[in-house]
Amino acid sequence: MLAESGRFDLATEIVIADIDVQRLRLERMRTGTFNDCAAARGHPETRFRRVPFSHTPDFADRGLMRDIPRFPFVPNTPSKLDEDCYEAFNIQVEGLRKRLTTTGSKHLVVGVSGGLDSTHALIVAAKAFDRMGRPRSDIFGFTMPGFATGEATRKQAWALMKALGVTGEEIDIRPAATQMLRDIGHPFAEGHPEYDVTFENVQAGLRTDYLFRLANQRQGIVLGTGDLSELALGWCTYGVGDHMSHYGVNAGVPKTLIQYLIRWATRTNQFDADTDAVLEAILATEISPELIPADASGAMQSTQDRIGPYELHDFFAHNVLRHGLPPSKIAFLAWHAWRDASAGRWPMGFPEDGRNAYDLATIAKWLEAFVWRFFQISQFKRSALPNAPKVSAGGAVSPRGDWRAPSDGTATVWLAELKAKLPPV
């Protein structure tokens, strides 16, 4: 719905709306049934009644009047948000329940970091076991501290496992990681503070390796925790890393929606008060992979400082996955959505101090990073994804569903289009 007149109003009205004809064209290219239906009905469009008129616009630039939602995966209408969260959460729960029933797995193994993604995966797992009438103690949660694991997130992981009643254990991966770094001749093993991608991936890889062997040992399957936003950006360690699992329950859920799914779970009393308190504390924690030790000031590694704001990346991902828009059009829409924090509606309960605004230069910077990561360096990871449920009509990255692309594609044409059509900033 783009615009509507007032109901029961006797006054004459003119209803005006911006029509995105490019989106209409792309939708019809993707969905062949439009023409099929027309052909089946004898092409009624050839018999439309035509009303001639003189079209004399003044061609003044009126700007874009259409409301562009900042969070395309998160409705800004409370009733629609509740409906979407209910649907998404229960699709995840039912998808996992079906996989557990089909495989006959006795246990579920999940790595619990105290961050958003593993938290959401764990509460989905708890609800799935409740629905199957099985004890939550059959879920094995493992916290695996590494070289940069913060005490706060470690405590949150343990608090969540205890509140949910799952079987919690801890494995310190630092001895094994040190041995591997020493075996491959990495400078860190000799006491040098070199925190490169190898240093990070040794930790991520070991955690997943442990989880798979623990699943073998406990007659279970590994539950993946990575989300759609990370998969769009390739922000995961390929193969034996957080990229891989037996079932990726969060792979269809973008980072911005995961926060609201957790908030929905607390608001609708899906769990008890103790669990809700832990969930609220986790929601307030900075997003970090915690793979690199804190700097001299004590600041931890921040994911969004390195790859950009997830709220922008989710906006970009939606318009690529769902609508197939070119980068310059996405930048145009993002600028209208994000240029003024005081304009338009925000999703229900969105904190005032988190209401950001972005100018065109910032949008272009992070859109260029998104395009390069999405089209150039990440498709090979998405081509080898484990099974996962699709939870949103806004798009998904599974090679078995919404997004099929060559693993050796390049971003050249998208980057060139963005550079050619964006005004100098």
Domains belonging to the chain, first-starting first, are 78-307 (3.40.50.620)
- Measured over the CA atoms of residue 134, residue 136, residue 137 and residue 140, the dihedral's sign is positive
Length of the chain (residues): 425
For range 178-190, the mean pLDDT: 96
CA angle 297, 192, 241 (to 5 degrees): 85
- Model pTM score: 0.91
C-alpha–C-alpha distance, residues 256 and 228, integer Å: 10
Per-residue pLDDT, 295: 61
Whether the predicted pLDDT of 300 surpasses 60: no
Whether the predicted pLDDT of 86 surpasses 80: yes
CB 226 within 8 A of CB 154: no
Q: How confident is the model at residue 385 (pLDDT cuts 50, 70, 90)?
A: very high
Six-digit token pair at 108? 């579920």
Per-residue pLDDT, 158: 97
For range 83-96, the mean pLDDT: 97
Q: Which residue, 204, 203, 287, 303, is CA-closest to 244?
A: 204
Percent of the chain with pLDDT over 70: 96
C-alpha–C-alpha distance, residues 363 and 366, integer Å: 5
CB 347 within 8 A of CB 75: yes
Whether the predicted pLDDT of 130 surpasses 70: yes
Six-digit token pair at 294? 């804190």
Per-residue pLDDT, 299: 59
Whether the predicted pLDDT of 350 surpasses 90: no
Per-residue pLDDT, 301: 57
User: Please, which contacts does 321-324 make with residues 24 or more away whose CB atoms are closer than 8 Å?
Assistant: 321/232, 321/394, 321/395, 321/396, 321/397, 321/402, 321/403, 322/72, 322/393, 322/394, 322/395, 323/23, 323/26, 323/27, 324/26, 324/30
Strands (E), 211-323: 220-224, 247-248
Cα atoms found within 13 Å of the Cα of residue 133, Cβ hemisphere only: 0
DSSP 8-state class, residue 17: -
User: What order do you get walking across the sheet with 139-143 strand by strand?
Assistant: 167-170, 139-143, 107-111, 220-224, 247-248
CB 291 within 8 A of CB 199: yes
C-alpha–C-alpha distance, residues 281 and 278, integer Å: 5
pLDDT in tens, 222-279: 999 999 999 999 999 999 899 999 999 999 999 999 999 999 999 999 999 999 999 9
CB 157 within 8 A of CB 144: no
